[in-house]
Amino acid sequence: MSKAPLLQVENLKQYFPIKGGIFGRTINYVKAVDDISFHVNEGETVSIVGESGCGKSTTGRAILRLEEPTAGRVIFQGQDLLKLSKAEMRKKRKDLQIIFQDPFASLNPRQTVRQILEEALAIQNVVPRKQRRQRVIELLEMVGLNADQADRYPHEFSGGQRQRIGIARALSVEPKLVICDEAVSALDVSVQAQVLNLLKKLQREYNLTYLFISHDMGVVRHISDRIIVMYLGKIVEMGDKQSLFENPQHPYTRALLSAIPVADPRRKKERIILKGDVPSPIDPPQGCRFHTRCPFVMDRCKTEAPPMHKLGPQHEAACHLLEEGPVDYSQLLKEIKIS
């Protein structure tokens, strides 16, 4: 019998009302996340990737109820988080932590590192008061910082060091699931690699589970077990890392992968340039939401939303081209050129 997922998200929606008129009535909604479902198994890293505005960060915030979801279910360890009271959810947050994108904005500039970490320990009452000082030292050493740095303020650290403090704070309460919201995007490439390697090391040592949110497919490739691709509030493709990188089946995924830089200047790489801008989530296109920018658009794409098609044990994508199975895009492009 297979083990139940640590996190199961079902039909999650996050709509933000738009107020207008002299009475401030709701006149429309921003459909930031629109009916998505996925799961995360214990001990794995699942990444959500997409352009800015696709709904990936909103998904993470909705799971934690930092924004109250409009509809759906978020089942964590067999319990629906959306049915918990605020007091119950506050206690549950011990098991669900987040690492924010901006390491400087997420740390209180008036507190020392010791105070920041001790505050987290005190709120969730993880360790007795007398042991907190020692626990702070252990947390700093865990993320590659020194004990003598505990009484410094956030502005005295580099960006990479500040992010390590953010990681230490998230891990201080011994969570089961950590949501990494663009956790390395504000850092230099060399520092990104150090933080990613640290996250992987901590995952191995403490059996952590990550929901990793990023716009960078190169970063996602380095850390993920499975990948979810989002576009305009919808999941368009998801699968294990090998399937998705070696045989991407949604046109949008192919465009994202083509944007990954190649280190070898002699190696030619076909770049897929998408035309136009991402449509507004206030009034998304009918049918397939990607049809306004898709190079393979058909008439039915403009009226009929495609279902998710199973392409392998862990690989599925939402595209009308996939009704009869995986597509050979090199052959399809030849046929388009001939016609």
Burial letters 135-165, b for 16+ CB under 10 A, else e: bbbebbebbbbeeeebeeebeebebbbbbbb
Burial letters 327-339, b for 16+ CB under 10 A, else e: bebeeeeeeeeee
Q: Which amino acid is at 284?
A: P
The dihedrals phi and psi of 212, each to the nearest 5 degrees, come to: -105, 120
What's the pLDDT at 26?
87
What's the pLDDT at 263?
65
- Sorted by where each begins, the domain ranges of the chain are 7-95+175-338
Q: Which CATH number fits domain 7-95+175-338: 3.40.50.2300, 3.30.2130.10, 3.90.79.10, 3.40.50.300?
A: 3.40.50.300
What's the pLDDT at 339?
46
pLDDT digits (tens, 9 = 90+) for 227-253: 999 999 999 999 999 999 999 999 999
Tokens 């990936």 -> residue:
56
- Does the pLDDT of residue 313 top 60, yes or no? yes
Q: What CA–CA distance (Å, rounded) separates 73 from 102?
A: 29
- Does the pLDDT of residue 337 top 80, yes or no? no
Q: Is the pTM of this model over 0.75?
A: yes
pLDDT digits (tens, 9 = 90+) for 246-272: 999 999 999 999 877 776 666 656 677
Q: How distant, in Å, are the alpha carbons of 81, 126, 127, 168, 172 from that of 117?
A: 26, 11, 12, 8, 7
At 55 the three-state DSSP class reads coil
- Does the pLDDT of residue 77 top 50, yes or no? yes
User: What's the burial of 325, exposed, middle or buried (CB within 10 Å: 0-12/13-18/19+)?
Assistant: exposed
Instruction: Give the model's confidence band at 172: pLDDT under 50 very low, under 70 low, under 90 confident, else very high.
Output: very high
Q: What CA–CA distance (Å, rounded) separates 67 from 291?
A: 29
User: What's the burial of 260, exposed, middle or buried (CB within 10 Å: 0-12/13-18/19+)?
Assistant: middle
Q: Which amino acid is at 113?
A: V
Identify each DSSP E strand in the chain by its residue range: 7-20, 25-40, 45-49, 71-76, 79-80, 96-99, 177-181, 209-214, 226-231, 234-240, 308-312, 315-318
What's the pLDDT at 269?
62
pLDDT digits (tens, 9 = 90+) for 23-32: 788 889 999 9
- Does the pLDDT of residue 146 top 50, yes or no? yes
Tokens 């640590």 -> residue:
6
- Does the pLDDT of residue 11 top 50, yes or no? yes
Q: What CA–CA distance (Å, rounded) separates 65 from 12?
A: 12
What's the pLDDT at 106?
86
